[in-house]
Structure 1
Amino acid sequence: MARCPLREVYLMLGRLAAACIVACIAAPASAEVVAVEVAEQRPWIQGRAFGAGEYELLSGTVRYEVDPTAASSRDIADIRLAPLNSRGKVEFQGPFLLLRPRDAARANGTTILEVANRGRDQSNGLLFQADAFALRKNETREVSRSTLFDLGYTFAWAGWQGDLKTEEFGLDVPSAPVTGPFRATALLGFGGASLDSGAFGEGAICALETGEAAAVLRIHRSLEDPGQVVPREAWRFARRQADGRVAEDRCAFLLSTPVDGPSLVTIVFTAGPSKVMGLGEAAVRDFASHLKHNDTASSLNSRPAYARRLIGYGYSQGARFLRDFLYRGFNADVRGRRVFDGVLDTASGGGRGSFNHRYALPSEAGNSVRSHLRAVDLYPFADMPTPDIGDRGPPQGLLDRALGDGVQPRIFHVLNSTEYWARAGSLLHTTTDGTQEVPEADGTRTYAFAGTAHSPQPSTLFLERRDRAPLPYNDNDDLALALPALLVGLDKWVAGRAEPPPSYRPRLGSTLVSPDKLNFPAIPSVVVPAGPPPRYQLDFGREYRSHGIITEPPQLGLRYPLLVPRVDRDGNELGSWRGLAQSVPLGTYTAWNPQDPALLTFGFLSGLRGAFIPFPATPASGRRSKDPRLSVAERYVGLEGYMAAVGRAIEDQVAAGFLLPQDREWARDSMRTYWDRVAGLRVHWPSRSD
């Protein structure tokens, strides 16, 4: 990449930040996995031989302990307040699952450690395709897309989320004996929900006392609305039971007078002991390091052939976790060694998460109304140091700590369309004021996939009932087709065997634009949102950065300009990589699909599914509907012409490194099925009445 004055400034700032970090590091503590208890070791799928032979499954429990005074623990919020064992250490434990070739000689030397998403995997359907897959009680019988197992990869998972039970593949962590302010949220009046009551949810952080006089409830009409305070005597911590009686409840509220329309309710109250959630990042660090090194010997690390290289993979929440993991310095283990050699950061956008502070909420996500003003989408967004908007504070970059510790991994940032429209994705590669590109950090690539939804609706008729959304759901599967190839490309880069494809993403000045310059075609009955949900600077108070303690409610600062990919005359995105569905399109694919007009005031565009708007079948049907886009008949000469175009596109994807040669037939079959599903959709939508 060509060097420029701005890049030189960022590199200089990165070196200064790194020097400061190195100067503050104390000597590391000892290894922090103290025991691995294997409860199950068996053939994964009896009699099934992959290219690397039969695989075995190991599962059980990992027991950890950390020294709260060690340098390696300094970034775990409230760690010095956690209860200690007789050795002066903090104990915690969680489950693990490992899949590996039974014959270590047939393993390829790379372990993929996936950060689970709310106790579930995001590998099945993206990296491989199995008939069933679960991290607990795995009962897989068949794998139909097995390329990565044929190539000899090992897969590993470890529980990390402290607000999930261990039987939910969570992490059993201690609590710090503290009290402090917490802000709960609830939606009233949406989708038939109550207008006068709500609950904080199972496993929620609840009020210490139902009679707390200082608790404050506000009603908000928009994201920016600071809220109207409801007098304390006009609401209570209570729940209306099925028989109509009202009972006190620390985890619910009841208004004396219902709200007059859809609203967001926030309540600031005093909460009790706080789980030490930051131990989740320590668990991933220490489990990963355990796989690579035998500081504590176990059956997981007795054969080094399995984990000569370690790649961290996460999708959505798991990817945001990995970004936070890197930002907070956890890619150096307790001995200062690199933990992950590579990171496949998929569908995180520019965000991180509420993973490591007092009263953390790991499941909260910035695209959700319930996550409004949470510690999720926070500066810094880009890898390289760049000033915060308004030049507030010294410039920071996501990789400052990894660079300072000398443990930066090779990184692929992978974005879908939703990340630009709901997860502040543009801030990953622009300055915070949206006016300049941020130079790419050495050892990183960024790949944006055009027209892909965060949660595609695969292998369906897109939407079974029209009352769920105004448009059919986006089921573009391009990212899933490409992800195994990206993982193999990252692995080759880590091993020094091959350079990956250059970054492919929208660029300022051409294909990355403000939403008012989207240039979306005038398709009948399609209403284009004004833009992504807003993101603001958030001031969590003076103790947040030093101790992870949030002052509630946080204060809004400047609004970040969020940019989106420009579209072509079909409404499909430009500047991002076009996979098969976008290279040989049958319609328009969007990241938005507004479901409830009332939710738009809260920036809620469509959840995570986006929309698919099929092309007219023929020129005549296009004229009747006044659709400006070319019809399918004008693009392809029937199914035969479509599949011929698919065949050429498949070869282009393989040549560019976005499809494995072994996945050619899988891709061809997927696209053949896709033609039939779109044909069915034209009958099903919109003429069918529900």
Structure 2
Amino acid sequence: MAKGKWLRQIIVALLTSVLTVAAAQARIVRIEITSVQSPTFEGKAFGKVGAYEKLRGKAYGEVDPSLPQNALITDLALAPRNARGMVEYSMDIYLLKPLNLRQGNHKLFLEVNNRGSKLFGGLNNSSGGNDPSTAAQAGEGFLMNQGYTLAWNGWDTSAAAGNNNLTISVPVAHHPDGSPITGPAYEYISFENTTTQTFNLAYPAATLDPARATLTVRQRLNDAPTPVPASGWEYASERTIRLLPAGTAFQQSAIYELAYTAKNPVVAGLGFAATRDFVAFLRYAKGDDFGNPNPLASDVRYTFSYALSQPARYLNDFQTLGFNTDEQGRRVLDGMENWLGGGSGIGLNFRFAQPSRTERNRQNHLYPEALFPFAYPVLTDPLTGQTAGRSARCAAAGTCPKVFEINSANEYWVKAASLLHTDLQGNDLPDPANVRFFLISGAQHGTGDANNRGVCQQGQNPTNAEPALRALFVALDRWVTQGSAPPKSQVPRRSEGTAALAVAQPGSLTGSVPAADLGWPSIPGVTYTGLISTRYALDFGPGLSQGLITKYPPTVTGRPVYPSFVSKVDADGNEVAGIRLPIVAAPLATTTGWALRRASFGENEGCEAAGQYLPFPLTPADRAATHDPRRSVQERYRTHAGYVAAVTKATKELVQQRFLLAEDAQKYIQAAEASSVLR
């Protein structure tokens, strides 16, 4: 009897210990489903999977600041704590799941939202927007037809509320005595109009005395900044500045920079823990601490993420900082498809973070977005002396995902995407065992309109990468779930002679790619300067490793840059490396990932995310009249049937290479047949 009592005491002690450990782990403690639409999409059935339902709500999490996995979150130790010593946060959540989970494929597709907005899977070819509900808004249902559960969660502290955006609520950090934290902050300010009179600050100013801040202005990116006197501007409030006299507009396309002392930083890095713990909850938990069931309990066998632009950069740092390992040492995401992340991270895990900012040719310079490491393997940075790699933490934990890093040509020209697959001397690196790299040849950052030039000199680039993204996602799924070897990387390589190296200008924010090195043809009416954004080492002060920026603006002048390159081009000006979709493989124009600004908008400086669409002359006579070095459309294809045959040939090759699905290949052929080319 005594022995039985002793055993019971041991069991109780062990259970108490387990519960204590569980209580100490960062996790979702409560999930609140506030609305259910079942079925959604007007009851539309998706293949053998059937109807879907939509769940919206909030998730409440808490993080233990004392655990090593969380201690690297900037200012977490200075955040308010609950009675259990935990730091709390809450976020919006959104799920689209098969009505009957048994008929789904038991795979979770996490779309990491972009500034709070959903793309509705990104691969569904949908017009669903931020709250898809109708059958038409479901689009082609690419993911639903296969049975994926789609999930979203708030993570971005700068995401605006409203319009069904996903937001996150995180605490403000304070000194231990409760007094406000202050520190250096920075705003890069530029407007493409002549009417804007005010600018809203990301954080409140600690003092409203303009003499305690510095505002400068310059017309061109590499001009020396000119101070705006303290009498020339003022704080309209602690979150707003304006020029004086009142009613003065900011100069169109001029670059203003404000360095000021801010207060009340939010613990923005909790956004990484939020995604980690949400996916881990959906994958592993039965329910929350209050008895609310996990809507996907015991269903999820594999987890994937899809991210475009800002969230792709977020997932780069998510890996670097070790957040793909939950606090029980389990893998969070099995596969990641990152689209348009470039060789960058995101300025999230810093004091006074501004994750909405991203650097391009003439946009948002001097933020801590693109800091070493850039590549996956562990390397030593010759400029800073640091040793690190994106895969270092997950490799140590055995939790690395399989990753497809996919970028447009624009990311190579303005975001140093080549640093993903080179060392710090610009030499090609072998592919990591778990990562492949792909360039979508000639594409800009997203799909442009050839009839709209915006502030650029030429019509924008209409290359649509989504067909390739769908095919690559299928390959990623098979790599993760079946062990099928993925397609080989398709990027410019110096070792293969397809890379054109940027010529850097130390101390400058830009460099150039000489036309002869690129192979650029002299196209009538098109300006080529070779302008490229360079990735340079910035000195933010000694506290950067703790996420503390002590010097604004950071030191740039005289610092060397990291070598980067772009794809060389053929005689038409189209890129030779990467996945050449039919718009490049059977072209009617030159497509570029770079563009230049037009007069009145910083002429000949970089046009940010835009590329160009430069049509070929239609006939030999047109070519001769303009002295265009590129063959005319008629010389290339002879007849309409010849053009259709060229598109058909290109699509068949892409299908064979697994860069295009058969159904998307057929759409290209049908579009070519229906076109007016050479009719």
**TM-score of the aligned structures, taking structure 1 as reference length:** 0.85
**1:218 aligns with one of 216, 219, 226:** 216
Aligned twin of 1:625 = 626
Match of 1:116 in 2: 113
Structure 1 match to 2:298:
304
**Deviation of the 1:131 alpha carbon:** 3.4
Q: Which amino acid aligns with 2:565?
A: L
Alignment of structure 1 residues 567-578 onto 2, 5 Å: 567-578=569-580
Distance 1:192 1:258, change over 3 A: closer
2 CA distance for matches of 1:172 and 1:269?
25
Deviation (angstroms), 1:49: 1.2
Report if aligned partners of 2:128, 2:139 keep a CA contact under 8 Å in 1: no
* Contact 2:287–2:293 (CA under 8 A) maintained in structure 1: no
Alpha carbons 2:588, 2:615 under 8 Å: kept: yes
| Letter matched to residue 209 of structure 1 | T
CA gap of 1:55–1:637, structure 2 versus 1, over 3 A, is farther
Question: What is the Cα deviation at residue 400 of structure 1?
Answer: 1.2
C-alpha separation in 1, matches of 2:172 and 2:185 = 15
Instruction: Classify the secondary structure of the residue corresponding to 2:388.
Output: coil
Q: How does 1:154-553 map to 2 (within 5 A)?
A: 154-167=149-162, 168-177=165-174, 178-187=181-190, 190-192=192-194, 198-200=198-200, 204-211=202-209, 213-224=211-222, 227-232=225-230, 234-238=231-235, 250-255=239-244, 263-294=254-285, 296-297=287-288, 298-305=292-299, 307-367=300-360, 369-390=362-383, 392-434=384-426, 436-457=427-448, 462-464=450-452, 468-477=455-464, 479-509=465-495, 510-514=497-501, 515-516=513-514, 517-553=517-553
1:520, 1:571 within 8 Å by CA — same for their partners in 2? yes
Residue 75 of structure 2 corresponds to residue 78 of structure 1: yes
Task: Give the whole-Å Cα distance in 2 for the aligned partners of 1:672 and 1:327.
Answer: 47
Structural RMSD (CA): 2.6
Give the counterpart letter for 1:185 in structure 2: Y
Tell me the CA shift for residue 81 of structure 1: 1.0
Alpha-carbon separation, structure 1, partners of 2:378 and 2:305: 23
Contact kept? 1:133, 1:140, Cα under 8 Å: no
Secondary structure of the residue aligned to 1:488 is helix
Whether the 8 Å CA contact 1:79–1:276 is kept in 2: the answer is yes
- Residues 1:545 and 1:273: Cα distance change in structure 2 (over 3 Å): same
Aligned partner of 2:8 in structure 1 is none
Letter in 1 for 2:308: Y
CA distance, structure 2, for counterparts of residue 300 and residue 426 of structure 1: 41
Q: 1:633, CA displacement in angstroms?
A: 1.2
Separation in structure 1 between the aligned mates of residue 600 and residue 369 of structure 2, nearest angstrom: 24
Measured against aligned partners, the alpha-carbon deviations of 1:600-648 in whole angstroms (never above 9, x if no partner) come to 68x9522322110111111111111211111111222433222222222
In the alignment, structure 2 segments of 5+ residues that lack a partner are 1-20, 175-180, 502-512
Q: Is the contact between residue 451 and residue 582 of structure 1 (CA under 8 Å) also seen in structure 2?
A: yes
Q: Distance in 1 between matches of 2:361 and 2:35?
A: 38
Aligned residues of 1:28 and 1:336 also touching (Cα < 8 A): no
Maintained 8 Å contact 2:531/2:606: no
Alignment partner, residue 11 of structure 1? none
* Residue type of the alignment partner of 1:254: L
Is contact 1:591-1:609 (8 Å) kept? yes
Kept in 1, the 8 Å contact 2:519–2:568? The answer is yes
CA distance in 1 between partners of 2:648 and 2:120 (Å): 26
Distance of aligned partners of 1:106 and 1:669 in 2 relative to their CA distance in 1, 3 Å threshold? farther
Within the candidate set 93, 97, 105, 2:94 is matched to 97
Q: Which runs of 5+ in 1 are unaligned?
A: 1-25, 240-247, 681-690
Task: Look up the match of 2:635.
Answer: 634
Are the equivalent residues in 1 in contact too, given 2:286–2:293 (CA < 8 A)? no
Say if 1:290 and 1:301, in contact at 8 Å, map to a contact too: no
Q: How does 1:655-666 map to 2 (within 5 A)?
A: 655-666=656-667
- What's the secondary structure of 2:380's corresponding residue? coil
How many angstroms apart in 1 are the aligned matches of 2:601 and 2:229?
26
Instruction: State the Cα distance separating 1:366 from its structure 2 match.
Output: 1.4
Instruction: Name the structure, 1 or 2, with higher relative contact order (CA <8 Å, separation 6+).
Output: 1
Which aligned pairs between 1:663-678 and structure 2 lie closer than 5 A? 663-672=664-673, 675-676=675-676
What CA deviation, in whole Å up to 9, does each residue of 1:113-155 have, x standing for no partner? 011001112355x411223231x47556343422322221221
Using the TM superposition, give the Cα deviation of residue 440 of structure 1 relative to its aligned residue in structure 2, in angstroms.
1.8
Paired positions, count: 628
Contact kept in structure 2, 1:351 and 1:366, CA below 8 Å: no
After superposition, the Cα gap between the structure-2 partners of 1:597 and 1:165, relative to the gap in structure 1 and judged at 3 Å, is closer
Structure 1 match to 2:128: 132
For residues 620-679 of structure 1, the C-alpha deviation after alignment (integer angstroms, 9 at most, x for no partner) is 111112111111112224332222222222222211111123434334345556x45x89
Asked if 1 retains the 8 angstrom alpha-carbon contact of 2:306 and 2:336, the reply is yes
Given that 2:120 and 2:129 are in contact with CA atoms closer than 8 Å, whether structure 1 keeps it comes out as: no
Aligned to 1:590: 592
Does 139-148 or 112-121 show the bigger shift? 139-148
Equivalents in 2 of 1:534, 1:401: separation in Å? 28
Deviations 1:286-327 (A, max 9, x none): 11111110164454454433x211112111001000001001
Q: CA shift at 1:531, angstroms?
A: 2.5
* Residues 96-120 of structure 1: per-residue CA shift (max 9 Å, x gap): 1111222222212221101100111
The offset of 1:532, in angstroms, is: 1.0
> What CA distance in whole angstroms lies between the structure 2 residues aligned with 1:219 and 1:524?
35
Is it true that 1:47 corresponds to 2:43 in the alignment? Answer: yes
The 1:206–1:544 alpha-carbon spacing in structure 2 relative to 1, beyond 3 Å, is same
The Cα of 1:73 is off from its aligned counterpart by 1.3
Is the contact between residue 653 and residue 659 of structure 1 (CA under 8 Å) also seen in structure 2? yes
CA contact 1:83–1:90 (8 Å) conserved in 2: yes
Q: Alpha carbons of 1:70 and 1:598: their partners in 2 closer, same or farther (altered >3 Å)? A: farther
Q: What SS does the aligned partner of 1:284 have?
A: helix
Distance 2:76 2:567 in 1: 42
How much does 1:342 deviate? Answer: 1.0
In 2, the alpha carbon distance for the partners of 1:585 and 1:617 equals 12
Moved more, 291-300 or 332-341: 291-300
Contact 2:287 2:297 in 1 (8 A): no
Q: 1:314-367 CA distances to partner (integer Å, 9 max, x unpaired)? A: 110010000010011111111111111111111111011111111100110111
CA distance in 1, matches of 2:221, 2:440: 29
Q: 1:222 to 1:395 in 2, by over 3 A?
A: farther
Instruction: Evaluate the alpha carbon distance shift between residue 29 and residue 199 of structure 1 in structure 2; reply closer, same or farther with a 3 A threshold.
Output: same
- In the superposition, the TM-score normalised over structure 2's length comes to 0.87
SS in structure 2 at match of 1:491: helix
Per the alignment, in what secondary structure is the counterpart of residue 437 of structure 2? strand
C-alpha deviation, 1:373, in angstroms: 0.5
Identical columns (%): 33
Distance change in 2, residues 1:100/1:368 (3 Å): farther
Moved more, 566-575 or 638-647: 638-647
Residues 389 and 558 in structure 1, CA contact (< 8 A), matched pair in contact too: no
Contact 1:165 1:172 in 2 (8 A): no
